Homo-oligomer: A and B are copies of this chain.
Amino acid sequence: MLKFDEQKQIDSVAGALDLRGQIEEAVDTLCRTGCREAYYLGIGGTYASALQAEAHGREKSAFPVFAENAARYITSGNRRIGKGSAVVISSVTGTTPEMLEAVKRAKAAGALVLGFVDDAAAPLAGLVDFEIAYPGCEQLKFFMATDRFFWNNGDFPEYVEYHREMEQYLPRALAEAEKKADEFGKEFAQRHHADPIHYFVGAGSQYGAAYSYAMCYWEEQHWLRAKAVHAGEFFHGTLEIIDRDTPVTVFLGEDAERPLAERVANFLPRICGNFTLIDSRDYELAGIRPEYRGSLSHLVTHAVTQRIDAHIELLNRHPMEIRRYYRCLDY
C-alpha cells in the first residue's frame, strides 16, 4: 500500500490516546479554575477540526463548545472570550501568524489556553498555559479534550468505559479501515483525479471533514477545485447545479446529523450519475460498541480519504507537500 506504514500508524494513534492523563490534568485544572465554556480556536485545517469539536458538543453536552476562527477573532473580536473561557488550539508548526495574535489576545482578555502545539519549541507553545506536544492526530486530541469537559460537566457518563475501549481497539481499527479502503481509494482517485470541481457534502462532524477535505487536501495539497457543502444546506441552493455528470461525494457519519446526509444520499440518484458515498458504517471498528461509533466516525472517513490522497498524489504526479503560494509569498 502506498504511503502506509501500518505499525507506525497504530503507534501514532496509540500514542495520542496515551495523552489522556495529560489532557485530563489540563482540562480538570481549567474546570476547577472556573472555565464555563471552551473555544476551539483555529484557522484553515485547525478551524475545520474546531467545527468538529463544536458539532460533537451540540450532541453530547450542555457544556458550551464553540468553534472560533483566529482571523475573525483578531479583527472583529469576541467579547465573550475572557475570564472563565478555556481556549483550545492545535498547531503543527506553532508559527501561524493569525494563531499567535489570537492566542495573545485571548490571554490578554483573561482566557486560559490549552495548546496541542506539536513543536514544543515553537513560539505558540511558549504562549499557552497548558502545552501538550505530540505530532498528528489533531482530531482525536481535540475530542479527547471535549470529552473530558463533558465528563466534568456530568454529561458523558460513559467517558471511562469509552476511552478504555478506544485505547484497546481504536489504533488497530483505524489501520484496518485504511487497509480496507485502499482499493476503493484507488478507484475513486482514478475516476476523480482530474475533476474540474468536486462537491463534498457532510453533516455533524462530517461537515468539518468535508470542509477540511475540500480546502486543505483538494485545494491546498492537490491543487484541485472542490467545495464543501453542509448536507443541511444542500437543498437550499447547491442542488440546482448538480446534474448527471457533477462529481459529488457524501460523507456519512454516525452522529445525530446523519439523517441530513442520508437525505442527500437518497436524493442524489434521481439527479446525478456521478456520486459517491463514503459511509463510516461500512467499516467494522472491531471491539468498539455501536453506541460509541458516532464519536469516532470522522476518524474513519479520514482514514478513507487518506487512501484517496495517496492514489491521487501518484496519478497526478503532484507531491502533496508542495505549495504554489502559501508560505512562499507574503500576504
| A56 CA / B28 CA spacing, docked (Å) | 34
Known contacts A240-B219, A240-B324; is A233 also within 8 Å of B47 by CB? Answer: yes
**Nearest CB on B from A287, distance (A):** 26
- Determine if A189 is an interface residue (Cβ-Cβ < 8 Å): no
A31–B221 Cα gap in the complex (Å)? 49
Q: Does A239 contact B (CB under 8 A)?
A: yes
Instruction: Name the residue on B nearest A323 (C-beta).
Output: B240
Knowing A256-B77, A267-B329, say if A220 contacts B240 (CB, 8 Å). Answer: yes
Is A326 touching B239 in the complex (CB atoms < 8 A)?
A: yes
Copies in the complex: 2
A194 at the B interface (CB under 8 A): no
A237 to B42, CA, bound (A): 14
Chain B: minimal CB distance from A56 (Å): 9
A313 interface hit (Cβ, 8 Å): no
Proximity string of chain A (294-324) to chain B, C-beta cutoff 8 Å, 1 when within and 0 when not = 0000000000000000000000000000011
B80 touches A331 (CB 8 A): no
Binding site for B on A (CB under 8 A): 43-45, 47, 55, 58-59, 61-62, 64, 69-72, 75-80, 98, 196-197, 203-204, 214-216, 219-221, 223-225, 227, 230-233, 235-241, 255-260, 263, 266-267, 270-271, 323-326, 329, 331
